[in-house]
Amino acid sequence: MHQFVRKVAVVDRECIVFRDAWAEIPLGSPIRLRYLDHVFYKDKNIEEQAPRILEAIGRLVHNADDYVKVNFEQYDNPEPLSTGLVILKSTIIEFGKIG
């Protein structure tokens, strides 16, 4: 069973439990997270627009104070290259280690 941390209260941008939980996930671990993403709209009703909740699954490769990097792919060409996301922690609403 996977245990995911959900942000429920905000204290200085993040709840204390949320911040401490990141320290328990080693770099290289597979993770799943849900986060609020920006939305571009054109010729739409402004009242219907809001941030979207997106989900990402990948390996945690960097954990900074205010953001994380999650890789989806890695390959050599001839130097190591990666595909992934840099996600601000302030936008993450749920995350957890897989496995």
The per-residue pLDDT for range 10-29, each reduced to its tens digit, is 444 444 456 678 888 999 99
The Cα–Cα gap between 83 and 10 comes to 31
Please give the average per-residue pLDDT across 72-95, as a whole number.
Answer: 92
Confidence of residue 99 (pLDDT cuts 50, 70, 90): confident
pLDDT value of residue 77:
87
The per-residue pLDDT for range 24-62, each reduced to its tens digit, is 899 999 999 999 999 999 999 999 999 999 999 999 999
Break the chain into its structural domains and give their ranges: 5-97
The Cα–Cα gap between 25 and 3 comes to 12
DSSP class of residue 28 equals: T
